[in-house]
């Protein structure tokens, strides 16, 4: 059985992204299951909580669910052409502490889908996730896309997906993604989650890099 954790990036009760994952669950290929999770158990990231009481229970539970799963499917809304803060906040918590991030995300096959009420169906927020997924060392699947635009016309009042064309797209996406996940899980150990990941390069803007002015003795 192939298990995929589907994480909706919206807290809204009537979320189209949660509805999209709910619509995806029965469309999964044979011998594959989609577990739908939300962000409700994840507080705002606070470094003082991390160094004090520790990683919150809801974050630990979500991390363990992702580790136990074969793949991760993110259903992202789009806010102001970018990633919604609540969703990024959750991924940031899941990446803590840094020496545990590889266990959660390292080489994890990740797919992205999204629904928005606008005309472009989360294309910009999906693009904005790419540097994050790369930084975390995931294996991002690029085989196809699900970009649900004008979501109010696509789901009914109960959040049930009504558009047959999108259902077909979603089913094809899931088939491709699950095939990829299955191949990935049989790849040689060098591709396993325990493999050594290349070190994250130091960014030129990190604060421990002396500025040109400092190097020149100006400050
Ligand atoms: C702060 C904010 C910014 C938004 N920005 C965009 C946007 O840039 N593009 C877009 O298509 N929809 C945008 N929307 C509309 C969302 O697509 C819509 O609220 C959608 O229902 C959110 O996903 P959800 O139903 O899963 O909560 C925005 C909504 C909010 C609240």
- Contact present, 200 and 206 (Cβ < 8 Å): no
77 lines ligand 1 (CB under 6 A): yes
- Residue 136 CA, ligand 1 centroid: distance in Å: 25
pLDDT of residue 214: 43
d(CA 156, CA 151): 9
First to last CA, the chain: 60
3-state secondary structure of 201: coil
pLDDT digits (tens, 9 = 90+) for 70-125: 999 999 999 999 999 999 999 999 999 999 999 999 999 999 999 999 999 999 99
78 lines ligand 1 (CB under 6 A): yes
Q: Give strand ranges (E) for the chain.
A: 2-8, 32-37, 71-75, 109-115, 139-140, 147-148
80 lines ligand 1 (CB under 6 A): yes
Q: Please indicate, yes or no, whether the overall pTM of this predicted structure exceeds 0.85.
A: yes
- Contact present, 82 and 125 (Cβ < 8 Å): yes
- Residue closest via CA to ligand 1's atom 14 equals 79
6 lines ligand 1 (CB under 6 A): no
The full 3-state SS of 102-120, as one line of letters, equals: HHHHCCCEEEEEEECCCCC
3-state secondary structure of 185: helix
What are the φ/ψ torsions at residue 43 (nearest 5 degrees)?
Answer: -80, 180
pLDDT digits (tens, 9 = 90+) for 61-71: 999 999 999 99
| C-alpha 133, offset from chain centre | 8
List the domain boundaries for the chain. Answer: 2-184
- Residue 37 CA, ligand 1 centroid: distance in Å: 19
- Contact present, 40 and 18 (Cβ < 8 Å): no
CATH topology of domain 2-184: Rossmann fold (3.40.50)
pLDDT of residue 176: 98
Which of 6, 7, 78, 113 to mutate for ligand 1's pocket (most ligand atoms within 8 Å of CB)?
78
79 lines ligand 1 (CB under 6 A): yes
């Amino acid at each position: 059985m192939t298990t995929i954790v589907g994480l909706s990036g919206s807290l809204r009760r009537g979320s189209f992204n949660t509805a999209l994952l709910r619509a995806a669950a029965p469309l999964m290929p044979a011998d594959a299951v989609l577990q739908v999770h939300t962000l409700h158990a994840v507080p705002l990231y606070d470094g003082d909580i991390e160094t004090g009481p520790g990683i919150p229970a809801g974050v630990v539970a979500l991390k363990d669910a992702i580790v136990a799963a074969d793949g991760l499917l993110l259903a992202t809304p789009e806010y102001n052409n970018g990633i919604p803060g609540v969703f990024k906040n959750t991924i940031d918590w899941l990446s803590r502490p840094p020496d545990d991030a590889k266990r959660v995300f390292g080489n994890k096959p990740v797919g992205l889908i999204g629904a928005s009420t606008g005309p472009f169906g989360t294309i910009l927020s999906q693009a904005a996730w790419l540097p994050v997924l790369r930084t975390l060392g995931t294996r991002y699947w690029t085989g196809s896309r699900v970009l649900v635009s004008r979501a109010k016309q696509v789901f009914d009042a109960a959040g049930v997906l009504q558009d047959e064309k999108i259902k077909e797209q979603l089913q094809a996406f899931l088939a491709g993604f699950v095939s990829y996940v299955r191949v990935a899980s049989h790849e040689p150990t060098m591709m396993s989650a325990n493999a050594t990941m290349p070190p994250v390069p130091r960014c030129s803007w990190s604060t421990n890099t002396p500025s040109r002015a400092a190097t020149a003795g100006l400050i």
